[in-house]
Homo-oligomer: A and B are copies of this chain.
């Protein structure tokens, strides 16, 4: 039985993924090594290679987990109003910021050209998922009459998504930047 399809995912495997995720969001995929993980975990380097033979296997598993997590997140959100969904999006960003991290799509798109091909494809799918979600929020917000903005829902969704991604990067220099962008997006959407 492959670990990927096994319900009881190895403890070590999960710890590796968690550590790799934190490292990727703070340092980037290229800038962390198996050493970083194994040292923190108290195992040898080759133990990581046992679970993820190539670094790209680890990267792909990381993005796949993001996609699954995101799917669950949006399903759990389905009952919420567009305004509440937006606020949950903002809280997600706050959580990244609190850990001195940026959003996964931000680091992955910045490093894109140096990533292994399978990771590039996976990233593309993940970014499309998040982009579609932002678009969905502002479209349903306008349809429900609680959000008001000129132009298309596609355009507004892209601006919200791009601005939040950029804001998390800006927030590394000025912690007020994230608050500033969130507040301005609320005002541009005419909600609250």
Chain A positions within 8 Å of B, measured between CB atoms, are 26-28, 30-31, 100, 102, 105-107, 109-114, 123-124, 127-128, 131, 149-152, 154-156, 158-159, 161-167, 169-170, 172-174, 177, 180-181, 183-185, 187-188, 190
Q: A158-B167, A184-B158 are in contact. Are A173 and B127 (CB under 8 A)?
A: yes
Complex-state Cα separation, A159 to B149, whole angstroms:
15
Number of copies: 2
Q: How far apart are the CA atoms of A103 and B105 in the complex, in Å?
A: 16
Whole-angstrom CA separation of A69 from B9 in the bound complex: 53
Chain B residues near A170 (CB, 8 Å)? 109, 127, 131, 158, 161-162, 165
- Once the chains bind, are B30 and A184 in contact (CB under 8 Å)? no
Q: Are B28 and A110 in contact (CB under 8 A)?
A: yes
